[in-house]
Amino acid sequence: MDLQLQGKHVLIAGGSRGIGLACAREFLREGCKVSLIGRDEKRVQEALASLAVEAGRSAGFPADLRDPAAAVRAVDAAEAQLGPIDILVNSAGAAKRTPFAELQAQAWRDAMDSKFFTYVHATDPVVKRMGARGTGAIVNVIGMGGKVATPTHLPGGAANAALMLVTAGLAAAWGPRGVRVNAVNPTLTFTDRLAEGLAADARQRNTTAEEALRQAQQKMPLGRLAQPEEVAAAVVFLASPRASYISGAILSVDGATSPLVV
């Protein structure tokens, strides 16, 4: 299927690793130009090197998206180098997983700063520019923790739930100006952040990380965890003109682990 993405400029916040980097690869395969934002400059450069695309089709910008001014500077730099942003993918930041008995008040604030506000700060300047041009698509990579409460992911789940409301609200607000906003909710996915989640779950259950992984896989109806590329495929479709009448959707990418009717 031709997703009609040739030549589109995609900005991926959190594109230097994990699902964000997998999204970058998929968009490049579709003929897009891709800008990456990541907090660590070295990791951003390593990600660009791993993409190995011709000059003029990719760029990277280090920025801490917890700072709204840094987000605006990164967006400005991306547009100056590769042109107006047609698609924004938010995949930056992740709340630290902590067993509930270990939670302190600061953990709740940290979760909002690292997950909720990184998305909002990237979205704010981009959605306004898209609205002024009358076109654009935003896809938020959120997580099933916002729908299903997990004892080791309560602050992060709260941030995820807030982002789902933001997604639906922005879709309604900016739809009349030609901007679509959607979200995907992955389940546990084989990324470098997986180890942290498994370690927290292991402490909660008083077991090992290896056993936590085995138990997690056993719970999956498909018998395995998700791969980043599988989540990226859903993101790329939702961002494409082929999904032109899909907006405000929250798509579960969890292999039927949480069979909810919503």
| pLDDT confidence bin for 196, thresholds 50/70/90 | low
219 burial via Cβ count (<10 Å: 0-12, 13-18, 19+) = exposed
pLDDT at 252: 93
Buried b (16+ CB within 10 A) or exposed e, 234-256: bbbbbbbeebeeebebbbbbbbe
Mean pLDDT of the chain: 90
For residue range 67-112, list pLDDT tens digits in order: 999 999 999 999 999 999 999 999 987 777 777 778 788 988 999 9
Q: What is the pLDDT of residues 38-76, one digit of tens each?
A: 999 999 999 999 997 766 799 999 999 999 999 999 999
Residue 192 burial by CB count (10 A; 0-12/13-18/19+): exposed, middle or buried?
exposed
Instruction: Tell me the DSSP string of 230-246.
Output: HHHHHHHHHHSGGGTT-
At 260 the pLDDT is 73
| Interval 200-250: pLDDT, tens | 666 767 778 777 677 777 788 888 888 999 999 999 999 999 999 999 999
- pLDDT reported for residue 4: 97
Residue with tokens 């400029």: 9
Statement: 9-251 belongs to CATH 3.40.50.720: yes
Give the model confidence (pLDDT) of 109-143 as tens digits. 999 999 999 999 999 999 999 999 999 999 999 99
Residue 197 pLDDT grade (very low, low, confident, very high; cuts 50, 70, 90): low
Q: What pLDDT shows up at residue 262?
A: 63
Whole-number pLDDT of residue 54: 63
Please tell me the predicted confidence (pLDDT) of residue 96.
74
Where do the domains of the chain lie? 9-251
For residue 132, the model assigns a pLDDT of 98
Q: Which CA distances in Å does 90 have to 15, 37, 119, 137, 156? A: 9, 10, 6, 11, 15
State the pTM of this model: 0.90
Residue 199: band (very low, low, confident or very high) from pLDDT cuts 50, 70, 90: low
- How high is the pLDDT of residue 70? 98
